[in-house]
Structure 1
C-alpha cells in the first residue's frame, strides 16, 4: 500500500465521490454537503477538496475546544489562511501565529474595544438612518444590499476615518468588488498568473492595486497631519494605530495597510450578511419580530443579544475555520500526521441536532433567559485567535437592528425561507433577504 493510500485509510471516513464532485458540492451547497456528511459519517469526517487535498471536518465540542484552545500551540492558523495572503498581506493578523500573533493582536486590540467602540455608535446611527430614508412604504428592499452599504460606510468612516469625498466615493465602488473575489483564484493557485493582462487574476490585481493606492495615500497623509498637529488625531481605528504608545514600535505604512484591509475583508461583509440573516429569520418566526421590537423599546439588550445569537447560530455566515496541525496529534480515536488540514466547523456545531434540538427553527428562547453551554456556541471562534472585531460587530448589529425596528415595520416578501447560497467566502440569503416595507416613520418625514 502506498503512503498516500495508507494515510487516507487512517483518516476518518468520508464520501467516496471523486474529489471534483466533492469540491463542486462543497462550493455550491457547503451547508447541505456538510450536514449530509455529518449524518452519514458522524461529526468527524474527511472530504477531498481540490486545491486543499484531504480536509478533516470536526464539529464536536471537545475536538473544537482542543484545536482552538487546549492544543492551540500545535496548530497553525496562518498556514490554513495561506490562500488569502494575496488579499490581506503578509502583516495581517490572519497570517501570523505564536508570539508574533500575540504582539499583532495586542496592537489592534485597543482601538477595537471598550470606549473606542462605543464612540462609533453615533456614526452607525447616522449611517443607518440615511439608509432607512431610502425605503419608502410599500417598497421591496434587499436587506443584504442595504446592510452592505451601511457596514461599508461605517468601516470607511469609523475604522478608516476617511473624509475626502473623492476617496470615499471610490472606495464605495471598489470595496464590494474587492470582497467579491473570484473563488477560483483562491482555490486554484495555478490561475494566479496574468496571462497577458487578461483573466480573473490580472483583473483582481488591478483592483487591489487601486484600493492599496487609496489606503496608503490616506495613511501617509494622516501620518503627516498628525505629526504636524497632534491635536488633529481622530478617534477612528487608523488614527489610534498611528498614535499608539507604549513599547510597540511605530507601524509601517505596509503594516497599517494590511491591518486595515484585513478589517475590511473579514469584518464588513460578515456583519452585513449576519444582519441580513437576522431579519430574514426574525420576520418569519412567529412572534419573533414583535419580541425584538418590545426588547428595543424597553432597552432590554439581553433579549436583543439572544435574538442576534440565535440568528448567528441558525444561519452562520461562514461554515469553518481552518487549522493545520504541526505535529502528530491524536483525537476522536484517530492519529493525525503533521500537515493535516482541519476544517473546524463552527457552523456544523451550531446546526447539530444533538446540541440544538430542531436546529432549523429560529427560537430566541435558546439564548434567553438561559444560554446554551459556551462549548456549544462559539459565534466568534475561540482561543487566542477569537475574532478581534467581535465587540465592534456586536455593537454594530445592536445599533443597526435597534434603529431599524424603532422606525420601520417589515414583513417577509415570501413565506418560504430563503435558501443559503455561497457568495465567495460568505453564506448569504439567496434573494438577499427581501422584505416589504409596511411602514417607515423616517421616510415619512419624522423629525
Structure 2
C-alpha cells in the first residue's frame, strides 16, 4: 500500500473540502483480499499510514470509511446515532437472521424489539442459567485426559452452543438437540462469497453454495418452528408451567412482555445464535491463549477464582477482549450529511466503526500487544477507550449473558484443571468468517484434571 489518497477521493484544495479521507490506492479486489485474509494487519497498517480516519474499498460494500477515534465513535454510536442506520450496514446478513431481527431494525422499531428481548437476557433470568452452564462445562472437561493436548476453541464452541440451545432456547428433545449440534456450526460457517457477492445468491439448479445454505437454513428453521409450536401449546395448556429459558419468557404474554409471532421468535433466536454463540466461544479461547502466556496472569486469575474475586476476573476478561478482539468493526451507514474532522460525508457513506483498532491503539493503550490485567484493575480505563459490547442504543443486548457465561466457564475450568502451553510464542490471528480466532485453536496441555481422575 502507498500513502497516497484512495482513487476517487477529491484532493484538498483552497476553498474545497475532501469528501472522504485518504486510503490505499490498490484495486478494490486486492484491498478486499487483504481485508479478508489479514484484517488486523490491514487495519493496523492503514491506521499507521493514514491515521484513525481512512477509506478502504471493499467488494460488496464500496468505499468504507474506517473510524477509530473515541470522539468519532461516541458521536456515531451515541450522540449522532439518529443520523446513522445500523440495519442498512447489516443488510448482507438479512438472509440469515431474518427481517424481524434486532440487527435489521432501527428507530422506534428497534426500541420496541429491544424491549421485548431485554428482560429475558438480564438480571435474575441470566443468573438462573449458571448451574446449567456449570454442568455443560463439566461434561466437556471430564474428558480432558492429563497430559493430552486440547484445542480450547473447539471445546468452547461445543460448550457455548450447548448453553445456547439448552439454557437460552430451552430445547430438551434429544433428537432436536442432536441435530442442532450438527447443523448450527455449519450454519454459522457461511461461505463468505454469499455475504460479499449478492450475485452468488442463486440456486443454479440446486447446486452451489447458495443452494446448500438454503437447505441447511430450512432444516434449522423447521426445528425452531416445531419447538415454538410445541412450547406455545404447552403454555396454553398450563400457563403456570413456563420455563425460565429465553424462548419461554418471550412466549409468555404480559403487559411488559408482549406476544410476538412465530417468525419474529425464529428471527430473534437465530440472531442470538449468529451473534452470541461463536463470539463467546472465540473470546473464551482468546482469554486462555492470553492468560496462560502472560507472566503471572494465570496464577492471578486462579487466585481470583479461588477467592471469588470477580473484579479481578472481570479485569482479566476485559483485557483479553481488548488485546484480542473477536471482530474488528461494526457497520453504520450515514442517512444524512455528516461532518467530522474537516470532512463532509454524504448520505449513504458506509462507516466501519472500528472498536478493534480503538482497543489496539498504542496512544490509548500503551504497549497494546502485551496482556496486563492491571489495565483494568484496580482502575479501569476511560469508558470511551474501551467498548467491548459497542455503545448507544445498539449496544450488544447479550452483554450480561456473555459476561456471566465467560465467568462461569473460566471459573469452572480453573477449579478443576491445570493447564500449560505447548509453546511460549503467541498464537496468530486467523479469520474464520467474521470471527478472528486463534490460529492453532488456543491449544493447551492438560497437566491435571480432578474431574477426569474422579471417573475412575
TM-score (norm 2): 0.96
User: How many residue pairs get matched?
Assistant: 444
Match of 1:123 in 2: 132
Question: Which of 176, 179, 200 is matched with 2:188 structurally?
Answer: 179
Matches within 5 A, 1:363-382: 363-382=372-391
- Alpha carbons 2:19, 2:346 under 8 Å: kept: no
Match of 2:320 in 1: 311
Question: Which of 414, 432, 439 is matched with 1:423 structurally?
Answer: 432
Matches within 5 A, 1:252-271: 252-271=261-280
Q: Tell me the distance in 1 between the aligned counterparts of 2:97 and 2:414.
A: 35
SS at match of 2:205: helix
Match of 1:356 in 2: 365
Question: Which of 8, 12, 25 is matched with 2:21 structurally?
Answer: 12
Q: Tell me the distance in 2 between the aligned counterparts of 1:248 and 1:415.
A: 50
**1:385 equivalenced with 2:391 (yes/no):** no
**1:400 equivalenced with 2:409 (yes/no):** yes
Gaps of 5+ in 1: none
Q: Tell me the distance in 1 between the aligned counterparts of 2:122 and 2:253.
A: 14
Match of 2:72 in 1: 63
Match of 1:166 in 2: 175
Kindly provide the CA deviation profile for residues 56-78 of structure 1, in whole angstroms up to 9, marking residues without a partner as x: 00000000000000000000000
**1:26 equivalenced with 2:26 (yes/no):** no
**1:90 equivalenced with 2:99 (yes/no):** yes
Structure 2 vs 1, CA of residues 57 and 440 (structure 1 numbering), >3 Å: closer, same or farther? same
Structure 1 residue 333 displacement after superposition: 1.6
Match of 2:120 in 1: 111
SS at match of 1:56: strand
Q: Tell me the distance in 2 between the aligned counterparts of 1:405 and 1:331.
A: 47
Q: Tell me the distance in 1 between the aligned counterparts of 2:455 and 2:108.
A: 53
Match of 2:239 in 1: 230
**1:205 equivalenced with 2:214 (yes/no):** yes
Q: Tell me the distance in 1 between the aligned counterparts of 2:322 and 2:316.
A: 10
Structure 2 vs 1, CA of residues 377 and 247 (structure 1 numbering), >3 Å: closer, same or farther? closer
- Alpha carbons 2:68, 2:355 under 8 Å: kept: yes
- The more displaced of 411-420 and 45-54 is 411-420
Structure 1 residue 414 displacement after superposition: 1.6
Segments ≥4 residues shifted beyond 2 Å = 4-10
Gaps of 5+ in 2: 1-6, 12-17
**What RMSD, in angstroms, separates the aligned Cα atoms of the two structures?**
1.2
Match of 1:39 in 2: 48
Match of 2:3 in 1: none
SS at match of 1:369: coil
- The more displaced of 247-256 and 157-166 is 247-256
Match of 2:60 in 1: 51
